[in-house]
Each structure stands twice: as C-alpha cells, then as structure tokens.
Amino acid sequence: MKKFVNDPAQFVPEFMKGIAQANPDLLDYTPEFQMITRKGGPNNSKVSIVQGSGSGHEPAHVMAVGPGMLTGACQGAVFAAPPVDACYETIKACASDAGVLVLVNNYQGDRMAWDMATEMATAEDINVKQFWINDDVAVEDSLYTVGRRGVAGNFFVIKACGAAADQGKSLDEVYAIAEKVNNNVRTMGVALTSCIPPAKGTPIFELGDDEIEVGVGIHGEPGRRREKIHSADKITEELFEAVSKDIPFNSGDRIALMINGLGGTPITELYVMYAKAHDLAEQAGFTVVRNYVGEYCTSLEMAGASLTILRLDAELEALLDAPAETAARIF
C-alpha cells in the first residue's frame, strides 16, 4: 500500500481537518463527530439537507456541504457508517423550523444509524424526514435484501434538493423532489482495479491484469460479473445499456449524463467514455441537456468509472442550473 497517510486510524480526521482549513469561510468542522456544516449553521426558514456515510467516497458527503447543496454531513471510518451520535448531532446542528431532510445512500449500516438518530431527533421535536437513495442498477434484486445501493446518483438528489431547499420549498416539497430524482436516476459502475482502505492495508478484492468487475459497488462489492477487459467504447456501451434499459429511459427524454471517476482514473479516460456515452445517448433519441464528467462519488483510489443518467423535466433542469458552492471547487 502506497498512500499519503500518517496513522491510518487518523486518516479520516486528518483529511477532514484539511478540508476545514481549506474552507474557513464556507464550512464549520466539529472533530468530535467528524461533522462538517455550513458556516453560520442552518437557516430557520429553509429546509436543511443532511447526509453522512462511510468515508472514502469524496467528494461525496462532507465535500458536498455548502450553499445550494447539503447543510451538514458527518463521516464514519472508511467504508463504515458513522456512529449513531454523529448522525444525531448532525441533524441537531442542522435543525431548522422548516424541517430536516436526511438524504442517505441505501446501505444497512447507514440506514440503522440514521433511523436511530432520526428517532432521537424526533423525540426532541425536530421535524425530520428520511429519504434513501438507491440508483445502482448493478444488483438486480435477490439476496441483497437491504435493496439496491445508492451511488453517484446521490449527487443529483443533493443538488436538486439543496437548490429547492435554498429556494424556500417546504419539507414535503423537497422530499417530493428527492423522490422524483431518485425515481429518474440510474447508475452502473465498472472497476479496473480494487482500492485499498488505509486501515486494512490490502485490496478489497483481487482482479487479474486483464480483468474488470462490471457493476462494482463503491465499497468494492462484487457486481454483475467479472470479465476480460475490452475497449472503452464496449465498456461504455455495456454501462449505457444496463442503465438506460433499467427505468427504462425513452427516446425524446431530456437527460443529464454523468461519467463519474471512481478515484484512480484520470479525467481524460472519463472523457473518452463520455464521448461514447454522448453518442449513444443521441442515438437513443435522448437530448443531453447537462453533463458531468469528473469525480462525484469515488471509492478511494479505485481505477474505474460509473455512468449515470437522470431524466429531466423543467423543474429539475432549473434546480440543476441553480448556483451552488462546496469544498469541491477549481478556482
């Protein structure tokens, strides 16, 4: 394992400290709960949006806090749901008269922690609703009784809900937007390599030099199948096919198209995939209204990518257009 780490047990608090130091005007950091909130806290006349999950998916979760996005978020250890108290404190720190929407990717550990936190907050008369994001089409049903996983589609749910909340929409209205986005967004990923959680020190899975894992999860969970690597175009076709057939999306749809890097893949390779995905979208009769190429929901340094399609309508287009600011930035 070669990484920029000190004590692996301090990896999460150390990088959170860095995020906080880099964004003093934007964010507040509470080390005790590995919690980051918008500078100045919640606005009582606006719905707050909170999230929290295992670390290792950055910029997902804590780097999505800021105007037009999340009100606050907390992080667990790498790939482990945050402790219940961190979730509870995040809800409390973001409590608003207009209500709090807990918007979390669908994993068992996260669900349990946020369920308990929500119960605790509700007992204190905080108005909380929960919404579970589950856009990953890789795992169809089955065994996986906690349901489909939430992955990069998460970004769109946050973006749309964050914009709606900041525009003064009610808790029920923001919840309805979360539902609409989640119902219309689908993702599938592919891994070229495994990642290595710092505390574990070894890869989550082993892939041959010429193998890829199609449908991989963002914690290295196995996907649909392992295959021999093939061309970027063929891989993109496979992802596009799986994603676009799932809802299904229809000719004439206006869409947002995302190629999300899983952490170790350079931006140029993502654009090679985007070029193909864009062509496929046009061939399918979709209009690509917005696009997103880069890292939105990663798996440490895993080489790989996911493809996300979101069906738009006028309301969602306006919400994606709205201004937003987070620790993830260029300038």
Ligand X SMILES: Nc1ncnc2c1ncn2[C@@H]1O[C@H](COP(=O)(O)OP(=O)(O)O)[C@@H](O)[C@H]1O
Residues that bind its own copies (CB under 8 A): 2-6, 11, 14-19, 21-22, 55-56, 58-59, 63, 159, 192-193, 209-210, 212, 229, 231-233, 235-236, 263-275, 278, 291, 293-295, 298, 300-301, 303, 305, 320, 324, 326, 328-331
* Pick 45 or 145: Cβ nearer ligand X: 145
Residues that bind Mg ion (CB under 5 A): 80
Residue 144 touches which member of Mg ion, another protein, ligand X, none, C-beta under 5-8 Å by kind: another protein
Give the one entry of another protein, its own copies, ligand X, none that residue 116 binds, where binding means its C-beta sits below a cut-off of 5 to 8 angstroms depending on kind.
another protein
Q: How far apart are CA 160 and CA 182, in angstroms?
A: 11
Closest to ligand X by CB, 115 or 325: 115
Using CB under 8 A as the criterion, what x/- string covers residues 193-232 for binding another protein? ----x-xx---x------------x-xxxx----------
Residue 304 engages another protein in binding (rule: CB under 8 A): no
* The one among 16, 113, 257, 262 contacting another protein by CB under 8 A: 113
61 is an active site residue: no
Q: Is 104 left (phi over 0), alpha (psi -120 to 50) or beta?
A: beta
> Nearest distance from residue 40's CB to its own copies, in Å?
20
Asked whether 322 and 65 are in contact (CB, 8 A), the reply is: no
Residues 149, 137: contact at Cβ < 8 Å?
Answer: no
Q: Closest approach of Cβ 107 to ligand X, in Å? A: 7
Q: What letters, b where the CB count within 10 A reaches 16 and e where it falls short, cover 145-162?
A: eeebbbbbbbbbbbbbbb
Least distance between Mg ion and beta carbon 234 (Å)? 31
How far, in Å, CA of 214 to CA of 70, rounded?
30
Torsion (CA) 260, 261, 266, 270 in degrees, nearest 10: -30
* E-assigned strand segments in 123-204: 128-133, 185-191
- Binder of another protein out of 26, 35, 77, 212 (CB under 8 A): 77
Rounded CA-CA distance 194/205 in Å is 6
Residue 172, helix vs strand vs coil:
helix
**Residue number with CB closer to its own copies (123 or 330):** 330
* 54 counts as binding another protein under rule CB under 8 A: yes
Q: Which residue is nearest to ligand X (CB)?
A: 109
Contact (CB, 8 A) for 146 and 117: no
Residue 156 near which of ligand X, Mg ion, another protein, none (CB within 5-8 Å, type-dependent): none
Annotation marks residue 57 as catalytic: yes
Return the amino acid letter for 280. Answer: L
Does residue 133 sit in helix, strand or coil?
strand
Q: Mask: binding to ligand X, 93-112, rule CB under 6 A, as x and -? A: ---------------xx---
- Binding test (CB under 8 A) with another protein, winner from 11, 29, 79, 292: 79
- Quote the CA–CA distance of 226 and 123 in Å, as a whole number: 47
